Amino acid sequence: MPYIGPFLVTPDEIDNPLVLDVDVYIGERLHWKGSTSEYAAHPAKLMEEVLKVLTALPGTIIGMGTVPNCCAIETEQWLFPSDRIQITFYKLDTLTQLVHDHVKITEPSRCEKRSDLP
C-alpha cells in the first residue's frame, strides 16, 4: 500500500520551498536535474484553482505535476514495466513510484500500440 511519510517537514526547516534542487531518476539513470523554481505554475495559483472545484481537507496532498522536459511526450523516453521513478527534493526526501509489471487495461487507449512493447 502506498504511503507518505513517515514524517512531515515543517516550514521552519526549509527557507524557501520554491528553490529546492530536484533530481529525477528512472532506474539508475539520471533523467532530469533542476529546481522547484521551474514550476510551470506557482503553488499558490494552483491551490487557488484547485479550491474552486474541491474542498481540501487536512492532510490533502496535491502534486505539482511533471517537471519541465521530463515527460515522455516531450522527450520520447518512455517508461517500461518494472521501471522505478525516484524524485528527490533536497532537504525533503525522495518520492518513489514503481511501474507495475502487469497493468489491467480497463478502457481502450486513444494512442497507437507501441511497437517496442510486447
Domain borders along the chain are 15-98
Q: Cell 518513489 sits at which residue?
A: 96
Q: How far apart are CA 94 and CA 46, in angstroms?
A: 22
Residue pLDDT, tens place only, 55-112: 989 888 888 776 667 777 777 777 888 899 898 989 888 888 888 887 776 777 777 7
How much of the chain exceeds pLDDT 90, in percent?
17
One-letter amino acid of 73:
I
CATH for 15-98 is 3.90.850.10
Number of Cβ atoms within 10 Å of the Cβ of 87:
20
Q: How far apart are CA 98 and CA 18, in angstroms?
A: 26
Are the C-beta atoms of residues 62 and 45 closer than 8 Å to each other? Answer: no
